[in-house]
Structure 1
Amino acid sequence: AAGIHTIRLVLPPARHAGAPAIELIADGKTVSSLVLARKPVPHRTIYVLPHSHVDVGFLFYQPVAIHLHHVYINDALKLIKQTDRLSPAAKFKWNIESMIEVDGYLKGFESRRAGTPTVMANLSMRYARAQWALTARIVMN
């Protein structure tokens, strides 16, 4: 048929350097040919890890910034409680960007005023199959 046709050719990784000839044959005739230079490439495994960079104190002095993060955690916990009975899609979701926020929040939690929601933190780190996973979960009672 007339027009532009695209043919995708998937080849296994080259084990040795070479230049195989590739031919496109239609009705027994070579319509097009190509010499494809191939070299082996080293096998590499690339691990992609989620990362977040937080400059505590970039906009405010560090004590002020840490305090603001604690306010954000309290606000998030209130919104989590307020939306707890909604459908999963409608529930409030929030991601804490760094552990310094959680660490400081939990250290100062006992000294906070009465009426603050009870918070339990479950932190775990595991190493499995060459991957680090850090899990932080804050549960509100």
Structure 2
Amino acid sequence: MSTRPPLPPFTEDSARQKVQAAEDAWNTRDPERVAAAYTEDSVWRNRSEFLTGREEIVAFLTRKWERERDYALRKDLWTFGGDRIAVRFQYEWHDAEGRWWRSYGNELWEFTADGLMSRREASINDVPIEESERRIRGPRPESEHGTGFPLA
């Protein structure tokens, strides 16, 4: 069994590290890399879709990033306690027709003692934007780690 530091119980610093690590991984748009942070039997709710296990997670992420082109994400720690972390996030992407979207959401995460995520619940809303309204352009530069982002 592999471990994925930082490990619970989380402190504010270790929770922030976990959130930044998740943001960095998701911005690679590599389904295998992202799925490696979850337990073999991880349970997800993403919008109205329910998934169980890494294989389903990889398939889901592959479909997601085929549809959500030029995906770029920001996550922000909301709160934490014990083996759980809550985050808010925003990401931008465009569809096959070139329309841009900003997706807003909240996630609830639960971790095993070895630092792998065993549960992820995500609620997400999509808002159409003009390309000129974009504010997320690729992975967050290291100089911006730990900074928040506007709500609207």
TM class, shorter-chain normalised? Answer: under 0.3
Answer 1 or 2: which has greater helix percent. 2
Provide the TM-score with structure 1 as the length reference.
0.27
Answer 1 or 2: which has greater strand percent. 2
Provide the TM-score with structure 2 as the length reference.
0.26
Is the radius of gyration larger for structure 1 or structure 2?
1
Higher normalized contact order (CA 8 Å, seq sep 6+, divided by chain length)? 2
